Amino acid sequence: MVTPLLEVADLACRRGGRRVFERLSFALGRGELLALVGRNGSGKTTLLRALALLVHPEAGTIGWQGVDVRAEPDAWRGRLAWLGHLEGLKADLTVAENLLAAERLRGAPQAEDRLDSALVAFDLSSLAARAVRTLSAGQRRRTALARVILAQAPLWLLDEPLNALDAPAQAAFRRALATHLASGGLAIAATHADLGLAGGRTLELGIPT
């Protein structure tokens, strides 16, 4: 049995005054992937945001190696790589500048040494000096995914990671995710699409009442 790193117990969240889920519990260990599925409005994005401490749960706990993550929020955020519906990129900065700026905000040293491999992973080397405002939706999504890789965080929180990606970029994402999991990383992804990796677990969220 895999020893849990992340343990979520009896979590409940509201959105717009409506409870979207309650008594939600799960645990993940090294190398595990959890796919969040369910219809629109079932709480997939809310759960990801709660895990990232972007929204405050109404009840329940989120623990990492036995410690409540809310006790050390800065340390917890340093263990996360986040990909939301919006890429969170600065339009007037280049691809490379966006990636390096994100790492500086994380306080990560020597990001320049790892930049090339992140660019190559999503076929962005030829776009590194391009301003993000000139990129297509798919290119911006690839840039945001390269930022996830560059972070080298143990836990990836991904909201519809395959959005706007063509077939080669989807394959690149699946390779990157498989590498992350093989190295002992964890990932939680809200998705309407098959992530294409065998052995992942699925958590189906219900419709709010």
pLDDT tens profile 42-85: 999 999 999 999 999 999 999 999 999 999 999 999 999 999 99
Q: For the chain, what's the residue count?
A: 209
Average pLDDT value for the chain: 94
pTM value is 0.94
The angle subtended at Cα 171 by Cα 96 and Cα 104, nearest 5°, is 25
- CA-derived radius of gyration, the chain: 17
User: Count of CB atoms within 10 A of residue 90's CB?
Assistant: 13
Distances (CA, A) of 25 to 11, 44, 56, 137: 7, 14, 16, 35
Handedness of CA 57, 59, 65, 71 (dihedral sign): positive
Domains and CATH numbers, the chain: 4-194 (3.40.50.300)
- 94-118: average pLDDT: 90
- Give the closest residue to 96 by CA, choosing from 78, 122, 64: 122
The pLDDT value given to residue 175 = 97
Q: Which tens digits make up the pLDDT trace of 4-30?
A: 999 999 999 998 888 899 999 999 999
Q: 132-180: per-residue pLDDT in tens?
A: 999 999 999 999 999 999 999 999 999 999 999 999 999 999 999 999 9
pLDDT at 207 over 90: no
- In this predicted structure, the answer to whether residue 109 has a pLDDT above a threshold of 80 is no
- Please determine, for residue 186, whether its predicted confidence score (pLDDT) is greater than 90: yes
